[in-house]
Structure 1
Amino acid sequence: MTNTVENFAFIGLGAMGYAMARNVRRKMAPTGTLYIFDVYRPACEQLQNEFEDSGPVVIVDSPREAAALSQMVISIVPGAEEVQQVYLNDISGINAAPKNQDRLMMECSTIDSQTSREIGEALRATGAGIYIDTPVSGGVPGANSGTLSFLIGHNKPSDTDPVSHRLETVAAMMGNPKKFFYCGKLGAGLAAKISNNYLSCSILLAVAEAMAIGIRSGIDEKLLHEVIQNSTGQNFMADVVQPVPGIVPDAPSSNNYKLGFKTQMMIKDLGLGIRAGYATGIKPTIAEAAYGVYEKASIDPRCIDLDGSSVYLHITAPPRETQK
């Protein structure tokens, strides 16, 4: 980033976006302004109040207004429809802001690669700026600690590509540079993220089922966790996100399934993996099976609006017809 004061726009203050925006405000130039927008205005007001004695945080009424006042835009919203509204809405979208070919737009949502490419190409064609898919991994804990992974649809930083250095500098405000992966072209960051999420969502369900089977077979849950951790079944979801309460102290399950990634969002991410599978000629058998379970869990009162690891509650509950 240059020594000139740079204003930032941040769009989308959900569980992850709020923490990411907080880190940006803390690390950007104190004389720069952070313009924020979210459809849920109380989130904007909360962030503004948090920094009332630090650097300026200004709430705006649309992505268009945020982009008009900024050289740097970061967005993270629920899905492809919301991304399209943020960037391409003829009235309130960033494409309606004054043109600025040097404006850099980092889109951190998890959507399909094709939609991302179409949005990026449309913005470039109208001179709105440089749009790059930069999906993140690490969940709410990573967003809070500023240690997110970034999967970036652009080339590695080089002396001949000033955009790449701006990308790296801004991403470092929210993530760990050791976990930045430059995937080469627009949409490629999302392709990597979709493949990763195919695994993470599916493996989480497999861990929940394996733990449930072992526990009901009479194995102490902590012993079973230790066995898996030191055997060929070892994986991040079992080690860190462990869906059985009381085993991993910092896991969502041990904290009343405190939200990290909503159960309802699991079906979105698995759906992206399924569609990518068919688009590339690979039958996504595991994701399809997991999708069916998460689809039911997403409407289960035990799991709604809780962390996705609460799927353990869904699969271990007695059948509804036997419940009293």
Structure 2
Amino acid sequence: MTFLGRRLLQLVPTLFFVSVLIFSLQQLLPGDPALVMAGEERDPAVIAEIRQQYHLDQPLPVQYVYWVKGVLSGDLGESLRIKVPVRTLVVQKLPVTLQLAGMAILIAFFIGIPAGVISAVKKGTGWDTAANLVALWGISTPNFWLGMLLIFLFSIELNWLPASGYVPLLEDWRASLASTILPAFVLGNAIAAVLMRHTRSAMLEVLESDYIRTARAKGLSEPAVVLRHALRNALTPVITLGALELGTLLSGAVLTEQIFSVPGFGKLIVDAVFNRDYAVVQGVVLVTASTYMVLNLIADLAYMLVNPRLRDGR
């Protein structure tokens, strides 16, 4: 528990620094929140009342304290544009992108890791060349082009899957999977290519280790050497990459969500920035940063599973 305890303690100062950074950067955005909330009339009395209500007439440290108190109580503020609590918007949009990102990561793992293992074990053969060509194609293919190509093929020509839209998972899980499989594949395709390259590199390094040669000298079968010994030790950098890529998908799937008309978290962030919706920007960025930290903590827990030495704090 020493290893996990250290990671949990590190979250506290990190969260504090992130909250200060988010609040500080918010002040750099152009425009005056009070003028935005006052509307077109901009009555001086109304503006003064808004400043007092939202503590905008207070010094920045005082405003930060009020904001943190609200965050700790679950109040992320209210959207200036549509007058809806930010917490409500997050609850509505985040599960959509979480489902999309989760499916994309699963697709990436199922493609990237086996391809990387095969490429490393079959180094210098046709299998290695084919895996590297697939990885190069995945990295080089633009998401918007692949998305439109998949829509044309599976939605228009074959009529197997819907071209756009989203169905909540709890409403109809079959329709939900059908509406998200194409955008999830588009996102997972590029990540699979990156995972393949990292898995191949890590496997090649591990396969040259002394303990692998010892395992082979003891007469262990090649599948046992590759899967039980080599792959387990090569997974550590892959786990790190997977956690970071999942966090990136939460805020970086904007283009794919636009192509497939998926009302996700990325679109919410972009709309908030363009509309100068300050409370939404703060709340969404804070949730995104916190999710990154949670994913890194999960990655640390996964390290403990694949590397038992970390359980003793070593």
Q: What is the TM-score with the length of structure 1 in the denominator?
A: 0.26
**Greater RCO (CA < 8 Å, at least 6 residues apart):** 2
Larger radius of gyration: 2
Whose strand fraction is larger, Structure 1's or Structure 2's?
1
Whose helix fraction is larger, Structure 1's or Structure 2's?
2
Q: What is the TM-score with the length of structure 2 in the denominator?
A: 0.27
